[in-house]
A and B are shown apart, each in its own frame.
Chain A
């Protein structure tokens, strides 16, 4: 029961995180690409509940940042509580700029201009990091899910074929898997990128990334699934079914797939964070989704410069966001494994194969 509660909790939390990210447009107060050029590298805004006279306000308010000196970014900011601006909830706002047409949408919260509410501060272009975190999550979490889906389906297909058909099919697929595992895929992506046309829109770059991560990643799940199938194939009830004249299709459907599905689901929960990390790495290196579209990786990319790394801690936001999400995925995988009572399938399969 306790095990189950852990499973449900982590599962629920994961769904929640993904929902938040999907509804980025509502939760993010600003357009992720809007450059607030007067506020580069502004620290996170302070949300106040009590004013300078110590009176408590139910509605939180923020004080607008004032730039100290002429050089923004280097000189720092201080907040000017003479012009406190209350945070308003469920606002309908349009981020309209001169000559720029953007649609008005509902936002969870916002403040009236000229005040700004940068909950997690801004980056070096003055873009709101809180908003970018949500929109960037769409890219990073989305890439993780989709790439895991892709590589798992490939792995499932090829692993099933190798494990069930055996003989030369098994040999070809497994040698192929070894080849794929030996591929230096960061360099592969560098090479793929160099051959592509210059215009690679954000969506194409995103799909390419998922393609490369997903396709290169099929080898591990397929080996695992092949192992499970090899062990299942030799079980008494499968042999009995065979003896009773069951067809291959019905054996795969009735006996093998149920055994495999639990392994595949657990494997998926382990693969998703790995692939999120892969996306973050690629975007960090400038190989993923290009500026200005946010991704958690390219949001971290500016930390490659010493001056930002040294003095602007809020730029780590997207890196820190990864930690609880990874923990959730791993605890989910853990409880899935416990739930399905999978105990080291691969070693069991190996034992059976060599005995």
Chain B
């Protein structure tokens, strides 16, 4: 009898212990005191492991210092921000801040934070973490790349805690779309990093050799294992602050494993073989190859249309008076003529580039805003078809003539000859340059395509200015015009065609400078759009860069993945990794 009682007691202790363990590691349904965000529209299935790929090893898992694409991709899944730009809708939406208010003059923001939520190690989150994170990012000594992004008009933003779950932000001047500044500013766990920050070691923490248990964030996943050169495995964050409409805590997936696959071709082959479940951004030629086998295999390809990337040809318009580059300086006489650039633009066969380089999966461009940017495109920009006759006429009006042998010469009888730089690591860009070369040959220009290694190309464009023309592509991280200021205003860090230009050297450049600066302080979307529309008109008219095409965002995924909604910006496939699920029971296989 005695024995039985004891046995019963033992079972009771054991079962309560088991329950405790279960509760401690996996909070099941959201608790009532948690400010949970209800996300998604469909109820998915829990479980399973998704295999994705990275082109190279992440260099760091520290959101404060990471700059390379693979690191940022992983960090995006481990950490969360206050206000998030939804890559699919391109609008902002609440994240760790459940609501915010802006003062009438647009300088003061108050953010209300989610209550009762926890970091992935179970530690509670509050306003102190937010203030700490902003202090770290804005600290000059930390040298975080985020610091520049958090400056408005050259001054930093003041951050103040006004309650345990309330933070005030004071901007030095009104700033359009200020809530977009909060995107990608990952909130750090103060309880783990405060000591490192005080010891000024914050930029050294969380390298790739850090134990998984030492890293905690507010993102949908947490680090499980990292094998350099092979794979990085993330597991579900049991404390994540989103749930689906039926009350299931997100994310659905148990794990995401990123295999390190160094080239696109290798990625495509492994995807074809079923070794990878999702493919993030592939070229049109590989898309066409995969498309041929789409029916036989168990995958789906998505053409999401043009992204935010724009490819363009530009001429060296830098001031070279202080540099020993007489040959380039002489040719700048042509490059500086608006007519010359307009003729080149008119002679380029953009449709052929779309067809030959991208197999039709790209959109021709005449200015920098792509049709993928739904909020900011200026639909009234003219899209003239290719016309050699018009190009020749414009060149004639600018004093260029053709010799008897067909070669184009300028007013001094100089043969019009120049080279276009490309990097062969980007096969598409080299192909674009080769097509342009053939197009311009028909105007009598002697054009050479010079493929150089990527760093050599960048060195010539950004440091030595020793080049004549180049084909390059830029991709903005956001649809908003603000990140583009660097490209279009004189003195900007990526004002590629004239980096030496600190003050506008032409009237139209002065107007662009003025409009780009003015729009940052306009709070009304329609008025801002008017300003940016005019910038697009000026660029299409004066061709400081000759915009060519915007490639479509092409991605792929297994048929059985539910919730896949490829976007044209951000992490194209895994931006909603917390809502992806396996629609059939394939979890057992993995």
B288 and A125 within 8 A (CB): no
The minimal Cβ–Cβ distance linking B331 to chain A, given in whole angstroms, is 11
The CA of A199 and the CA of B466, in the complex, are separated in Å by 12
The CA of A291 and the CA of B420, in the complex, are separated in Å by 12
Of the listed stretches B218-226, B443-451, B515-523, chain A binds: B443-451
**Is A100 positioned at the interface, with any CB of B under 8 Å from its CB?**
yes
With A71-B288, A306-B289 known as contacts, the answer to whether A98 contacts B360 (CB < 8 A) is: no
Chain B residue nearest to A290 (CB atoms) is B449
B356 and A291 within 8 A (CB): no
Taking CB atoms, residues of chain A closer than 8 Å to B355 are 37, 40, 71-73
Taking CB atoms, residues of chain A closer than 8 Å to B361 are 71
Taking CB atoms, residues of chain B closer than 8 Å to A291 are 430, 434, 437, 449
A198 and B444 within 8 A (CB): no
Taking CB atoms, residues of chain A closer than 8 Å to B444 are 99
Chain B residue nearest to A304 (CB atoms) is B427
A40 and B419 within 8 A (CB): no
**Is A93 positioned at the interface, with any CB of B under 8 Å from its CB?**
no
Q: Quick one: which of A57-103 are within 8 Å of B by CB?
A: 70-74, 97-101
Taking CB atoms, residues of chain A closer than 8 Å to B359 are 71-74
B442 and A98 within 8 A (CB): yes
The CA of A194 and the CA of B453, in the complex, are separated in Å by 10
The minimal Cβ–Cβ distance linking A131 to chain B, given in whole angstroms, is 15
Q: Quick one: which of A270-320 are within 8 Å of B by CB?
A: 286, 290-292, 304-308, 310-311
Chain A residue nearest to B267 (CB atoms) is A306
Contact partner of B360 (CB less than 8 A), chosen from A37, A70, A99, is A70
B291 and A306 within 8 A (CB): no
The minimal Cβ–Cβ distance linking A67 to chain B, given in whole angstroms, is 10
B435 and A305 within 8 A (CB): no
B356 and A126 within 8 A (CB): yes
The minimal Cβ–Cβ distance linking B463 to chain A, given in whole angstroms, is 15
Taking CB atoms, residues of chain B closer than 8 Å to A201 are 448
The CA of A243 and the CA of B430, in the complex, are separated in Å by 68
A99 and B435 within 8 A (CB): no
**Is B421 positioned at the interface, with any CB of A under 8 Å from its CB?**
yes
B268 and A292 within 8 A (CB): no
Could you mark each residue 438-466 of chain B with 1 if its beta carbon is under 8 Å from any beta carbon of chain A, else 0? 10011110001111000010000000001
B419 and A125 within 8 A (CB): no
Taking CB atoms, residues of chain A closer than 8 Å to B228 are none
A306 and B438 within 8 A (CB): no
The minimal Cβ–Cβ distance linking B383 to chain A, given in whole angstroms, is 19
B448 and A199 within 8 A (CB): yes
With A201-B448, A305-B285, A307-B289 known as contacts, the answer to whether A124 contacts B356 (CB < 8 A) is: yes
The minimal Cβ–Cβ distance linking A282 to chain B, given in whole angstroms, is 13
A125 and B356 within 8 A (CB): yes
B438 and A292 within 8 A (CB): yes
A99 and B443 within 8 A (CB): yes
A290 and B451 within 8 A (CB): yes
**Is B590 positioned at the interface, with any CB of A under 8 Å from its CB?**
no
Chain B interface residue bracket vs A: 35 or more
Q: Main SS of chain A's interface residues? A: loop
Taking CB atoms, residues of chain B closer than 8 Å to A100 are 406, 441-442
Kindly name the residue among B406, B431, B438 whose own CB sees the greatest number of chain A CB atoms within 10 A: B438
A101 and B438 within 8 A (CB): no
Taking CB atoms, residues of chain B closer than 8 Å to A40 are 355-356
Contact partner of A198 (CB less than 8 A), chosen from B286, B431, B450, is B450
Could you mark each residue 13-44 of chain B with 1 if its beta carbon is under 8 Å from any beta carbon of chain A, else 0? 00000000000000000000000000000000
The CA of A92 and the CA of B527, in the complex, are separated in Å by 63
**Is A262 positioned at the interface, with any CB of B under 8 Å from its CB?**
no
**Is B412 positioned at the interface, with any CB of A under 8 Å from its CB?**
no
The CA of A137 and the CA of B157, in the complex, are separated in Å by 66
The minimal Cβ–Cβ distance linking B332 to chain A, given in whole angstroms, is 15
Contact partner of B451 (CB less than 8 A), chosen from A70, A98, A286, A292, is A286
Taking CB atoms, residues of chain B closer than 8 Å to A124 are 356, 431
The minimal Cβ–Cβ distance linking A281 to chain B, given in whole angstroms, is 15
**Is A33 positioned at the interface, with any CB of B under 8 Å from its CB?**
yes
**Is B199 positioned at the interface, with any CB of A under 8 Å from its CB?**
no
Could you mark each residue 326-356 of chain B with 1 if its beta carbon is under 8 Å from any beta carbon of chain A, else 0? 0000000000000000000000010010011
Contact partner of A308 (CB less than 8 A), chosen from B285, B417, B424, is B285
The CA of A308 and the CA of B265, in the complex, are separated in Å by 11
The minimal Cβ–Cβ distance linking B339 to chain A, given in whole angstroms, is 17
Taking CB atoms, residues of chain B closer than 8 Å to A198 are 419, 421, 448, 450, 466-468
Chain B residue nearest to A67 (CB atoms) is B355
Q: Quick one: which of B238-292 are within 8 Å of A by CB?
A: 265, 268-269, 283-286, 288-289, 291-292
B292 and A37 within 8 A (CB): no
The minimal Cβ–Cβ distance linking B396 to chain A, given in whole angstroms, is 12
**Is B159 positioned at the interface, with any CB of A under 8 Å from its CB?**
no
Taking CB atoms, residues of chain B closer than 8 Å to A99 are 388, 392, 442-444
Chain A residue nearest to B407 (CB atoms) is A101
Taking CB atoms, residues of chain A closer than 8 Å to B430 are 291
B392 and A125 within 8 A (CB): no
**Is A35 positioned at the interface, with any CB of B under 8 Å from its CB?**
yes
With A100-B441, A306-B265, A306-B269 known as contacts, the answer to whether A311 contacts B289 (CB < 8 A) is: yes
Q: Quick one: which of B286-307 are within 8 Å of A by CB?
A: 286, 288-289, 291-292
Which A residues are closer than 8 A to B by beta carbons?
33, 35, 37, 40, 70-74, 97-101, 124-126, 194, 198-201, 286, 290-292, 304-308, 310-311
4 smallest beta-carbon distances between A and B, as pairs: A74-B288, A307-B285, A306-B265, A101-B406
Selected A-B contacts with CB under 8 Å, 6 pairs = A35-B438, A72-B355, A100-B406, A125-B434, A286-B451, A291-B430
Known contacts A126-B356, A311-B289; 10 further A-B pairs (Cβ under 8 A): A37-B355, A73-B355, A74-B284, A74-B359, A100-B441, A198-B450, A291-B437, A292-B449, A306-B269, A307-B289
Which B residues are closer than 8 A to A by beta carbons?
265, 268-269, 283-286, 288-289, 291-292, 349, 352, 355-356, 359-361, 388, 392, 405-406, 417, 419, 421, 424, 427, 430-431, 434-435, 437-438, 441-444, 448-451, 456, 466-468
